[in-house]
Amino acid sequence: MKAPRGASLGRALLLLSVLCTPLGCGDGKTTGYADRVEIRRTSYGVPHILADDLGAMAYGLGWVHMEDYGHLVVERLTMVRGELALFKGEDHVDSDFWWRRRYQQAVKTYPSLAADTHDMYEGYVAAVNRYIELHPERVPEWAAPRFTAVDIAAHWVDERLDGATRRFLASQEAREAARDSAAASGDGSNAWAIGPSRTASGHSMLVRNPHLSWGAGRYSVYYEAHITVPGVIDFYGDFRVGYPMYFNGGFNANLGWATTNNSPDVEEFYALSVDPDDSDAYLLDGESVPLQTTEFQVKFTSSAGLETVTREFLDTEIGPVVDRTADTLYVVRSADWGEYRRTEQFLRMMQASTLDEWKDAMRLRAMKESSFTYADAAGNIFYVWNAAIPILPHPSGRDTVAIPVSSRSEVWQELVPFDSLPQLLNPTTGYLHNENDSFHYTNLEQFLEAPSVPAAWPERRLRLRSQLGVELLRGADNVTLEQLIELKHSPRMLMADRVKPDLVRALSASRPVGEVASALELLEAWDNTSRLDSRGGVLFDRWVGQYDEMGGDYADAWNPDEPTTTPRGLDSPELAAEAFAAAVQETTELYGSTDVAWGD
């Protein structure tokens, strides 16, 4: 560990983490990483990592991840290697096969990574291995210091393909729910940017609210950290446990951004005819093209001991085979297949100092999805519906229909250019927002049309969470940072504003008695918020779930001609009353009473 540089970081910072122990320093096993990095944690445990170079910075990040979530890091890296079934049993065999294919991609592309990306992967994995050596009691008993930089790279290769394949094989009727039901109005990410014309300081402001877990979880754990390599990078934001960089949002001295999932359709499924004279070939442009075959083995532990499963995977020049019949191959062509530069893109974004530099980093197109909302010290605010979305020579199958093709010209070849994606810079009314809905209403006064290029553009959508965001932002003028934070924590339940009057009328007409009558009085007195001391919101929330489960809907569905005032009302007063009685019973069983505060 290097001696602390300069003055103390202030009362909020405590020196809680020491990388360099007597066993970890000067023995050559960490190639000097520990001597080139300093870690300080705040009283809340947030690490501030100061390093001489990117490799040492990644070593520090890997170390704090191991300190806080060592079991999770080890398990995920074992999964990435396709070896989880070896230690955790047969239930993980399917996952291991999937990861073996991804790992093959990582091995193939690793030499093509930028040098600074190599440095970070090598530093990160060195910390993981060294921590396992020094603290075997804090990791799974089967863990060994054998991970490699390729394991880190494989953690983020062609991420979207698995989900798209599962959707296709499940033959979903539609990729998105057609009905804006109560269930479709739940949690998600939120991002706001406010321009200088609407702020008290005259500076732009950015709010990021991912609504995802900051605690332990199996897939992805948000992790707050500050990383600094003088003259190279100085970034504060959220990271993910097990990755040097992954879907990051945050800021440097000049700019910041937030991400919100946008679920673009970056893949298409195609149906190819099997060659009738050769079942191991397919027909394309009148030619018989041989299938490419790869065999993988996965070992797993069972009650009988160590067993091995062998599976064969097929590929075409269009993409992997996901299903087949006697005469048809179903293949997926994905813009994400084989992508390996995401860490490089996020590093370039973190290092950018201007909007132009940040856009240049985005033009790498390694990030295939997610809306980005941006603000900078120069006063710019910017939104882009980011997606590596294909230019289609045919209607989109939307991950549910395979398009029959017999020629290469019928298969998509190019992506919509970054600068042609839906985006908006410095709107005249000074605000941008996204809450996982489509790009169209990013600013209500400057409607964004879908580009004319043929692609699987999303349909217009503005759900209640988005509508509340718009309402709060449009009312914000000369806003201070403290006021913006207060808006971000608004406890208002917009759904209650839209449907509670109809619900109260339906309940009154049903002539309730006993507990239901008392609950109706509670509902009428409720202030339509989720304030900690507010009473009635818990009951209303349970009613929403019951009403939706019973098939209830709005009286007026969401209408793009009335985007901020629909949906509203209830289509079935009788069903609403029935659902309320069920909610009263459920709330009482869970909490002992319907008169329970939201904070209880």
Question: 554-593: per-residue pLDDT in tens?
Answer: 999 999 999 999 999 999 999 999 999 999 999 999 999 9
Give the pLDDT confidence score for residue 174 in this predicted structure: 43
182-266+338-488 domain in CATH 3.40.50.800? no
CA–CA gap between residue 566 and residue 551 (Å, rounded): 19
pLDDT band at 171 (very low <50, low <70, confident <90, very high): low
b/e per residue 178-216 (b: at least 16 CB within 10 A): eebbbebbeebbbbbbbbbebbeeeebbbbbbbebeeee
Least confident of 185-189, 357-361, 389-393, 422-426: 185-189
Mean pLDDT of the chain, nearest integer? 90
Kindly report, residue by residue over 36-93, the tens digit of the pLDDT.
999 999 999 999 999 999 999 999 999 999 999 999 999 999 999 999 999 999 999 9
* Residue pLDDT, tens place only, 501-523: 999 999 999 999 999 999 999 99
**Calpha distance 149→77 (Å, rounded):** 10
Counting other chains too, the contacts that 288-291 makes at CB distance below 8 Å and 24 or more residues apart are 289/316, 289/317, 291/315, 291/316, 291/321, 291/329
Q: What angle do CA 346, 350, 356 make, to 5 degrees?
A: 95
Question: What Å distances lie between residue 194 and 362, 383, 473, 478, 479, CA to CA?
Answer: 21, 11, 8, 10, 9
Contacts of 107 (CB under 8 A, 6+ apart): 150, 154
> What pLDDT score was predicted for residue 209?
86
Taking each helix axis from N to C end, the angle separating 115-134 and 54-80, rounded to the nearest 10 degrees, works out to 70
Using DSSP, state whether 466 is helix, strand or coil: helix
| H-only helix segments in 398-463 | none
**Residues constituting the chain:** 600
Q: Are 567 and 554 in contact (CB under 8 A)?
A: yes
Domain with CATH 3.60.20.10 in the chain: 182-266+338-488
Average pLDDT for 243-247:
86
Query: Residue 490 — very low, low, confident or very high, per pLDDT cuts 50/70/90?
Result: very high
Looking at domain 494-591, its CATH class is mainly alpha
Residue 237 has pLDDT above 70, yes or no: yes
Residue 221 — pLDDT band, cuts 50, 70, 90? confident
- Under the banding of pLDDT at 50, 70 and 90, the label for residue 246 is confident
Nearest to 491 by CA among 442, 541, 444: 541
Q: Specify the CATH class of 13-155 in words.
A: mainly alpha
pLDDT of 23 reads 30
Taking 50 as the threshold, does the pLDDT of residue 112 lie above it? yes
d(CA 149, CA 55): 11
pLDDT value of position 166: 61
Mean pLDDT score, 121-125: 97
* Cα–Cα dist 576/336, whole Å: 44
Least confidently predicted of 121-130, 165-174, 456-465 = 165-174
- Which residue's entry shows tokens 């863990």? 143
Mean pLDDT calculated for residue range 426-439: 97
- Rounded percentage of the chain residues whose pLDDT exceeds 70: 88
Q: Where in the chain is the domain with CATH 1.10.1400.10?
A: 494-591
pTM of the entire predicted model: 0.90
pLDDT tens by residue, 340-382: 999 999 999 999 999 999 999 999 999 999 999 999 999 999 9
Give me the mean pLDDT over the 289-303 stretch: 96
Q: Tokens standing for 393? A: 């020579």
Mean pLDDT of the region 212-221: 63
Q: Where in the chain is the domain with CATH 1.10.439.10?
A: 13-155
pLDDT tens across 312-325, in order? 999 999 999 999 99
Q: What are residue 6's phi and psi, to 5 degrees?
A: 75, -160
